[in-house]
Structure 1
Amino acid sequence: MTGAGHNWAGNVRYAARSRHRPSTLDDLRRLVAGADRVRAVGTGHSFNRLGDTTGELISVAGLPPTVALDRDRGTVTVAAGLRYGDVATRLHADGYALANLASLPHISVAGAVATATHGSGVAHGNLATAVAALELVTADGDLLTVDRADPRFAGMVVNLGALGVVTRVTLDVVPTFHIRQYVRLGLPREALGAACAAAYSVSVFTNWRSSRLDQVWLKQRADAPPPPADWLDTVAAEAPCHPVPGMPAEHCTAQLGAPGPWHERLPHFRLGFTPSSGDELQSEWHVPRASAAEALAALDPAAERIAAVLQVCELRTVAADGLWLSPNHERDSLAIHFTWIGDAAAVAPVLAEVEERLTPFAPRPHWGKLFARDPAATYPRYDDFRALLRDLDPVGKFRTDELDRYCPRD
């Protein structure tokens, strides 16, 4: 397959000489072994060039769509190229669930795991924390399986696609459950901490034009009581909402307290709809949750400049974990996510200012979004990850120019 194409947002046109979609594991192994440079691509929802290559770009979406449930172990092993939404519907039919999902059910399992993509909830880690084992094709075409018993495992889950081509992922599962989703309007900013801890999963949206936060999406277990009428000095939305003002709410998951399966409420957007046109840019930084109020206050002097190039800002919480390159490594986090307008020249100086203002809080960027600074100093196990790179890919087959900026060769 020739012509490497571009990412979902259209801001990255892949530099690869060709693109491949192998249908068998053997074909994939031969492709990897015979290539000088190679990278795997998922659904293309990353906004930077970490996943680009001048060699061969490989999609694993053509491999057999495995979804193998192990009830005894409480896990499911899935083909890496499957979308979370497709895995979720099959799991729910069998009486099981994943503990959490991201806002988009359209993203691939391997891509989301490799970049530590996340949902929300003070008790929930990012999606990579549900990984119990990985199978991947390494630089010489060999097949390697690692699980939590392997001392390298914590460094191999959030891998930026730099250690090999992941073919299967084993995830922890829980019994299926139902969620009700409520939207509340006009949250006082000083109530953010209480709001984030008030439901199973919580997302807060702001346009940086008001002293109050515009929307709070409460996703709570169906058997929990609804929020009271005067909940945290907010008012209830009387009709379904979209996070971005003016966008159609029909693209979003059901609200107004209607109960539904976990996979139809935890994401913000329905699997059957395209959530936006893709004409946007995104950035996200994770700061310690204990410093949330101070970090947001540090951005206040830039509020007008942020608002001028912003579609919406989302605030979510993510629990701490032990994964080496997770933005939530060893600290509970507030994720500050910006969906910008699709004008890179206008966004760039504002992005740089946001990053500068967050510097005192050791911000860690989402690996799939736009950022400018080298985040190495904020990761205690960064050098250990670089050692893994040398061990598993000594010739640099999976390296890219962008990766070399953040993980330079010795």
Structure 2
Amino acid sequence: MAGSGQRKTTLRITALGNSYTKLLTSYAISNLSTGVLIVALPLLATSITRHPLSISGLTAAAGLPWLLVGPLSGAIADRVNRRRAMALAEFGRAAIVGLGALFVLGGGKSLLVLYLVMILIGIGETLFDPIGLAMVPTLVKPSGMDTANSLLYGTQTLGQRFAGPALGGWLFGLAVWAPLGIDALTFLMSGLVVLMLPRTPSHTESEWTVAGLSADIMEGVRWVWGDRPLRAFLLGTATIHFSTAAGTSVLVLVAQDRFRLSGTGFGLILGGLAGGYFIGYLVAPSVVSRFPRAKLCVASVLGAGCGFLLVAVSGVALLAGLGLAVVGFLAAQLEIVSITYRQMGVPDRVRGRVMAGFLFVGHGSIPIGAVFGGTVATLTDVSYSYVAAAVAIAAIAPFLWRALKDADLDAGSAGTRSEGRGPA
């Protein structure tokens, strides 16, 4: 059975074309590298300090680039040769972690250096991720978009949340510099694979000035604001990230105080969320092809709300993990419908800005949700953080339905939506 499933996945990838396979390979290598850093840098930090705020600052540093330069990266993505920009981002990240490896190998210990590495790696991500997503419609036929996106997101989840962290921990056990050293090679490999992609045109229409870049960013904002389904999907992205952060920010307290679990047990419950996302992405092409997309989006947010409620009331750790898995699985369905609409409904010349804008909002919602969840838990009880998350995500269902019920969300017919349109 396992061999049969693997053959089916291989056939799905092959059917999407050689160019897409190269993009997917680059994504897999890059996200594996990022997953290694997610574990390796905090482990390095603990060899310098045990102060919780100093160590947690690495997580904040990872998200900071999206808030500071995310929209700017989107504007740049629509101005330059995308293949070259993706490759340069990977080569830059290879150089950064390579220098970091030499610093650690030489006995250097500095939290400031670790913060700097995390921030610079994040800046590269703000270019690599939206450009890669923007390139998919140029490599894949409309009928294959859902499958292409599900494989990209599934690969990202596997690399950043499973394989990468496991590899990073193992490499750190071999030598403290090894995770950074290996990452230098893998980021380099990812960039070389990107250079094998077809050439892409640039869309430079204005000068490289602050005013020109600002005008480009505002054009992207107008595209999102002028399209009702895009506004709805943006709200969905923000709410999913906000609600998930509100719940996971206090999950360790639920694991320890309610379920009396060890660190391993906490990791397994949290892994339920990542596992739900991963499985959700893998089966998303089949799911979205069987149900009307607008109804699926509404059902996904309502079902995710039920998943959060299950965590809130559960007295058994297994059920709490199942609740988070439900959240991840259903959020993945909404994400695939959303990303396919963005790719097919937005013209290529502005697509990078729209992609970066969604990532900016998604990442920006995480710290807000985390603070909200912690505040609710402080004022009431940790269970109410999940009740609040459930209410927040379910509350957008009516808005999603009104915005999406009459929209053309089908991937196969989406290719002409952007023709003749302009920003509102």
Output the TM-score relative to the length of structure 1: 0.27
Q: Whose strand proportion is higher, 1 or 2?
A: 1
Q: Whose helix proportion is higher, 1 or 2?
A: 2
Output the TM-score relative to the length of structure 2: 0.27
Higher relative contact order (CA 8 A, sep 6+): 2
